[in-house]
Amino acid sequence: MSDFFNQVYEVVKQIPPGRVTSYGAIAASIGSPGAARMVGWAMNASHAHHEYVPAHRVVNRNGLLTGKHHFDNPNAMKELLEAEGLHVQENRILDFNEKFWDPLTEIE
């Protein structure tokens, strides 16, 4: 597992239930702005990580569930988010700005 992927996983593991962040926000928080796509690759591989990584809490910058096709069930991401109290409509987080967790300001 790459050091980059491990840095991504450490950020993702800190996202509280009921909150979401974006690929780009994670990339910026680990000092790699512009590496949002690589964060997506890390999320796709997160199932192989030795610890649980709540990949369902990572969405695109518009709140779209763009990673949903990487789960065993295409509805799993939506179901996990809704179980945490988020509202999803047409594969988009409602109240995205209110539920957005910014690792740059949230991580001490």
pLDDT value, residue 2? 82
Residues 76, 56 contacting (CB under 8 angstroms) = yes
Report whether pLDDT(34) > 80. Answer: yes
Q: Which residues pair with 21 in a beta bridge?
A: 58
CATH no. of 3-102: 1.10.10.10
Report whether pLDDT(18) > 90. Answer: yes
- pLDDT digits over 58-74, tens only? 999 999 999 998 888 98
> Sorting pLDDT into bands at 50, 70 and 90, what band is 40?
very high
Where along the chain do its domains lie?
Answer: 3-102
- Output phi, psi for 19, to 5 deg: -125, 160
pLDDT value, residue 1? 63
Report whether pLDDT(108) > 80. Answer: no
